[in-house]
Amino acid sequence: MATLKFLSFLILQLFLIVNNCEGVEVGFYKKTCPNVEAIVKETTKHYISIAPTLAAPLLRMHFHDCFVRGCDGSVLLNSTKGNKAEKDAIPNQSLRGFQVIDAAKSALEKECPGIVSCSDILALAARDAVSLINGPTWSVPLGRRDGRVSILSEASKNLPTPFDNFTTLKTTFGALGLNVKDLVVLSGGHTIGMSHCFSFSSRLYNFTGKGDMDPNMDQNYINRLKIKCKPGDVTTIVEMDPGSFKSFDTDYYSMVSKRRGLFVSDAALLTDTQTKHYVLSQLNQHGSTFFKDFGESMVKMGQIGVLTGNAGEIRKHCAFRN
């Protein structure tokens, strides 16, 4: 039964991959809404200038959108009386920044009504959020349309978790057409943002169920984290990349190399030869390829399962189907 479920999951992901490129191109709106990128960037800039910590959740929102049903804006939809949406799944309950997408959509509806999809706005906002906190920029292929379906259980099942080992991560990414390099590069997004203690507290207090600590985490770092995160703490948040969590840089790889990545999924990057080599190769900032690689992997991720042509719709309001 489990094998059949896994096969059906793979078939669905392959269908998404096969149908992910037609009609998506840089400059898609040059005739129908030429100011789209400027409007999204200005809106994103306004919010990031007030709250720089919004950059990480905007990036994460795009990531979470693409990993469930492809990049179709399904993570933006609200739950209804008869359906619990992705937005309410536990991994998505800490997402923030929906007001940025809504504000950009409102501005675009005044400029060119009914033209620009919410999924394209999210892809642009994620790029702009990263570039506004000293990160790279990249050209975003556009032309996605918005999905009409959003199901809580699919987010719970398909999103990578902080507890995943390398084998699980490789399978999850691979099913969506992302390779091992994409995995280690996109993990670098953890250079910004915060995490709740419960996402890693088992590494501090009860790693194998015997009241032990994770031997793959630096002991001194564990001691520092224990000061902030007490057993059973479900409210405290800590920086994922201490001292640098508001700036997009290569410090994440330095932390991972010192066995100071917060999550099991961060530590997993040292358990594979290819990902470990990449981590170590980014430590010399002058020789780092991370910014270039990140843009390339984001473009690749942003083309997973996109709806184009007559599929889906262009939502009038991002939280609601038309």
- Structure tokens given for 293: 């690689």
Of 108, 132, 113, which is closest to residue 55 (Cα–Cα)?
A: 132
pLDDT at 17: 45
- Cα gap 317→322, rounded to integer Å: 8
Give the residue ranges of the annotated binding site for substrate: 160
Per the annotation, the verdict on 286 as an active-site residue is: no
Query: Which residue ranges make up each domain of the chain?
Result: 25-158, 166-301
Predicted local distance difference test score (pLDDT) of residue 284:
81
pLDDT of residue 242: 87
> What residue numbers does the annotated binding site cover?
65, 68, 70, 72, 74, 86, 160, 190-191, 241, 249
Binding residues for Ca(2+): 65, 68, 70, 72, 74, 86, 191, 241, 249
How many other C-beta atoms are found inside a 10 Å radius of the C-beta of residue 293?
19
Q: What is the CATH number of domain 25-158?
A: 1.10.520.10
List all residues 6 or more positions away from 127 whose beta carbon is below 8 Å from its beta carbon. 137, 138, 140, 298
Count Cβ atoms within 10 A of the Cβ of residue 287 and give its class: 0-12 exposed, 13-18 middle, 19 or more buried: exposed
What pLDDT digit, counting tens, does each position of 182-237 carry?
A: 999 999 999 999 999 999 999 999 999 999 999 999 999 999 999 999 999 999 99
* Top CATH class, 166-301: mainly alpha
Confirm whether 25-158 and 166-301 share one CATH topology.
no
Determine the pLDDT at residue 21.
44
Q: Which is the catalytic residue, given 64, 196, 277, 317?
A: 64
Using an 8 Å Cβ cutoff, are 64 and 91 in contact? yes
Q: How far apart are CA 113 and CA 250, in angstroms?
A: 40
Token pair of 267, please?
Answer: 């530590």
Give the separation between CA 297 and CA 300, rounded to whole angstroms: 5
The whole-model pTM stands at 0.91
- Which residues are part of a known binding site for heme b? 190
Ranges under pLDDT 50 in the chain:
2, 4-7, 10-11, 14-15, 17-21
| Confidence (pLDDT) at 22 | 58
List CB contacts of 152: < 8 A, sequence separation 6 or more. Answer: 79, 84, 85, 86, 88, 89
